[in-house]
Amino acid sequence: MKAAIVIIPGVLEVQDVHAPIPGKYDALCEILYGATCTGTDLHLIDGVFPWPPVYPAILGHESVGRVVEVGRGVRNFQVGDLVTRVGAPLMPQAGMDVCWGGFSEFGIARDHWEMRRAGLPPEKWSGNRVNQVVPPSIDPRAATMIITWRETFSYLSRMGLGNGASLLVVGSGGNGLSFLAHAANLGAAPIAMAGSPARKKVALKAGASDFFDYRQPDWPAQATRLCPAGFDFVIDAVGRQSSAQSALGQVRRGGAFGVYGVDDFGQALLDPFKARGPFRWQPNEYDEAEAHGRVVDFVLSGKLDASLWMDLEQPYPLARIGEAYASLRRKEAVKILIEV
């Protein structure tokens, strides 16, 4: 099968690898589509991801696949099901690691429910809780966004945002826009973003009530005029030292602050004297599986529209995935759909 492989940092190629063979609790899936993740994928391609793989490694963690075969122990997947976060498994015999392995023609979904029922240890199945069935009425192209939406919804929910709360998001990438959409669906107000002016239009469509150009040095003053006492919740979706520090100063006393981006992971330094007072730190933790049902409901009700994040009508074929990432580096798109 074909797969997009980071050979060494800086080198991405589509090559032939062996297709996976499903085990007892595995469902073999034909992977249909995947979405690029600018933060994770480009860090992996460039060799600067905080948790690096052993190269070569198959890329892709936002793919969906159609079940074509199930193992004898599978009870919760059926042939024809559309499943999230499907990817190629580890291939130690071929010297191949995986960065989740979603940009490959075939992948594995694991029946973690049945494995748990059978008493297998959590380390065997807990990582596969991301494999969830998508209702057949959802377009497989749009279903690739469910991964990003689940991660960000889980994070925001654990943070405690709810109806009537104010939110500021710093960073206008795919995750930042997702926080806006979730906040709007949860009834937050006002919802503000500091980001690239090229993303203002889509940010307002996604759910922002106010938008600040992050390149303007007075954007924090503009934010203060909107919420003089500070925002209840502030999320830095970039993760650079500069963005985190600017964001911290916008948190109200007793508010919640989190850094979701990974640009300066492990290096970010916060000056507590820039804070308005005591604040609650939100660690970068989420659980995709716990958010699956809510996100699917939002999609089915039309409250999450994948076309705001990427062009669903003109996906890049897997063979041209390198061109897709070049386009992302030029900031020509938020995310790009890949037809696997």
| 158 & 175 share domain | yes
Is residue 288 one of the residues assigned to a domain?
Answer: no
CATH code at position 15: 3.90.180.10
| 124 & 152 share domain | no
Examine the fold and report which residue of 264, 282, 300 is the final residue of a domain before the chain moves on: 282
**Could you give the CA distance from residue 209 to residue 192 in angstroms, rounded to a whole number?**
6
Mean pLDDT by 10 residues, the chain (340 residues): 97 96 97 95 92 93 98 98 96 86 98 98 96 98 98 97 97 97 98 97 98 95 97 91 85 95 70 91 94 98 98 98 97 97
Q: Which amino acid is residue 56, in one-letter code?
A: P
| 101 & 203 share domain | no
Is residue 298 one of the residues assigned to a domain?
Answer: no
Q: What is the number of structural domains in the chain?
A: 2
| 175 & 129 share domain | no
Is residue 84 one of the residues assigned to a domain?
Answer: yes
| 134 & 152 share domain | no
CATH code at position 195: 3.40.50.720
Predicted local distance difference test score (pLDDT) of residue 91: 82
Predicted local distance difference test score (pLDDT) of residue 263: 67
| 270 & 246 share domain | yes
Predicted local distance difference test score (pLDDT) of residue 85: 97
Long-range contacts of 132-135, Cβ-Cβ distance < 8 Å, separation of 24 or more: 132/83, 132/84, 132/85, 132/288, 132/289, 132/292, 133/76, 133/77, 133/81, 133/82, 133/83, 134/64, 134/81, 134/82, 134/83, 134/84, 134/296, 135/296, 135/300
Predicted local distance difference test score (pLDDT) of residue 202: 97
Is residue 104 one of the residues assigned to a domain?
Answer: yes
CB neighbour burial string for 69-99, b if at least 16 within 10 angstroms, e if fewer: ebbeebebbeeebbbbbbbbbebeeeebbbb
Q: Which residues contact 298 (CB under 8 A, 6 or more apart)?
A: 149, 185, 304
**Could you give the CA distance from residue 244 to residue 262 in angstroms, rounded to a whole number?**
11
**Could you give the CA distance from residue 298 to residue 306 in angstroms, rounded to a whole number?**
11
CB neighbour burial string for 164-179, b if at least 16 within 10 angstroms, e if fewer: ebbbbbbbbbbbbbbb
| 129 & 12 share domain | yes
User: What is the pTM assigned to this prediction?
Assistant: 0.96
Is residue 276 one of the residues assigned to a domain?
Answer: yes
Q: Which residues contact 8 (CB under 8 A, 6 or more apart)?
A: 47, 55, 56
Residues 292/294/295/297 CA torsion (nearest 10 deg): 120
Site of tokens 């793919």: 63
Predicted local distance difference test score (pLDDT) of residue 268: 67
Q: Which amino acid is residue 221, in one-letter code?
A: A
**Could you give the CA distance from residue 241 to residue 245 in angstroms, rounded to a whole number?**
6
| 178 & 270 share domain | yes
Examine the fold and report which residue of 282, 302, 326 is the final residue of a domain before the chain moves on: 282
| 192 & 102 share domain | no
Is residue 296 one of the residues assigned to a domain?
Answer: no
Is residue 294 one of the residues assigned to a domain?
Answer: no
Predicted local distance difference test score (pLDDT) of residue 274: 86
Q: Which domain range does residue 185 map to?
A: 148-282
Examine the fold and report which residue of 261, 282, 303 is the final residue of a domain before the chain moves on: 282
Is residue 300 one of the residues assigned to a domain?
Answer: no
| 133 & 179 share domain | no
| 169 & 270 share domain | yes
| 186 & 236 share domain | yes
